[in-house]
Amino acid sequence: MYGDGLFLSYAGNTVVENAAITLHTGRVTALVGPNGSGKSTVLRTMARLHRPDRGSVRFGDDSSALALSARDFARRVTLLAQSRPTPGGVRVKDVVGYGRHPHRGRWRGDDAGGPAVVARAMDVTGVAAMADRPVDELSGGELQRVWLATCLAQDTEVLLLDEPTTFLDLRYQVELLELVRDLAETHGVAIGIVLHDLNQAAEIADRVVLLEKGRVRADGPPAEVFTEDLLSRVYGIRIEVTHDPLTGTARTRPVGRHIQNVRVPQ
């Protein structure tokens, strides 16, 4: 899936100019950049929630995303947004089951494999034990995992994630990001993910798109995009970059006035 020459605006004000992004099958592409750089707007455009002023969003077979019916598009692309309305009194397993809506006909029985897909989605996201709990009684982190399970139950070829680690404690941040890698490597899903944490992006992404003020400033492997000069210029703060001696993974560290002399024990 790819977006090409995207010009995006709100109320007549251009917020993204001539952006291009490609999501490859079996790869994770991370969108990073300061607040207001256009990351989420680009992702929402890929999800057909924001219509481009100019440019196109297409699939690998060159079919236009905008030309598909809502049902056909939902069979190919799903989005985990930053926030969703929480339905009152609805059980977790029923919310996850909503993800099967594009695969069902008029009658729920038309989706013969649906229950197994829902069960697997709840299992891999760690929400199976709370299947009968009302979702409006869950914590923010629990609810985030339920919404992720709903996206997985939709069983699409493209998965878009907008800051998915929000509200999650450290354990579930790690588990979610590992799941993202599994979906790409094992199941061949094309994944686009907005992240604020540069180290998380370096850990899981095959490719990074760095945005600044609505423009793509760099696009490539994390080790190439995450340089001290580029990151420091884009974020407006000095950022040190080191590389893991075993894996080569980039490690970033912003340097402020009160932490510049602090060193992490080796």
- For residue 67, the model assigns a pLDDT of 93
- For residue 265, the model assigns a pLDDT of 47
- For residue 225, the model assigns a pLDDT of 97
User: Which residue has tokens 């699409």?
Assistant: 156
> Residue 146 is inside which H or E element, if any?
helix 140-154
Q: List, for residues 165-178, the tens digit of each pLDDT value.
A: 887 888 888 888 99
Q: What is the largest CA-CA distance in the chain?
A: 64
Q: How far apart are CA 237 and CA 239, in angstroms?
A: 6
Domains and CATH numbers, the chain: 1-76+156-266 (3.40.50.300), 87-154 (no CATH)
- For residue 233, the model assigns a pLDDT of 96
Please give the full DSSP string across 193-254, using - where no structure is assigned.
EE-S-HHHHHHH-SEEEEEETTEEEEEE-HHHH--HHHHHHHHTS-EEEEE-TTT--EEEEE
Mean residue pLDDT of the chain comes to 91
Hey, what are 85's tokens?
């309305």
Hey, what are 51's tokens?
């219509």
Three-state DSSP at 55 gives strand
Of 239, 237, 236, the residue nearest 225 (C-alpha): 239
Exposure string over 127-162, b if 16+ CB within 10 A, otherwise e: bbebeeebbeebeebbbbbbbbbbbbbbbbbbbbbb
Three-state DSSP at 29 gives strand
Please give the full DSSP string across 95-145, using - where no structure is assigned.
HHHGGGGGG--SSGGG-TTHHHHHHHHHHHTT-GGGTTSBGGGS-HHHHHH
Q: Are strands 158-162 and 77-80 parallel, antiparallel or unpaired?
A: parallel
What parts of the chain have a pLDDT lower than 70?
105-109, 258-266
- For residue 176, the model assigns a pLDDT of 87
Q: How far apart are CA 250 and CA 208, in angstroms?
A: 12
Q: List, for residues 207-266, the tens digit of each pLDDT value.
A: 999 999 999 999 999 999 999 999 999 999 999 999 988 888 999 999 987 665 555 444
- For residue 121, the model assigns a pLDDT of 93
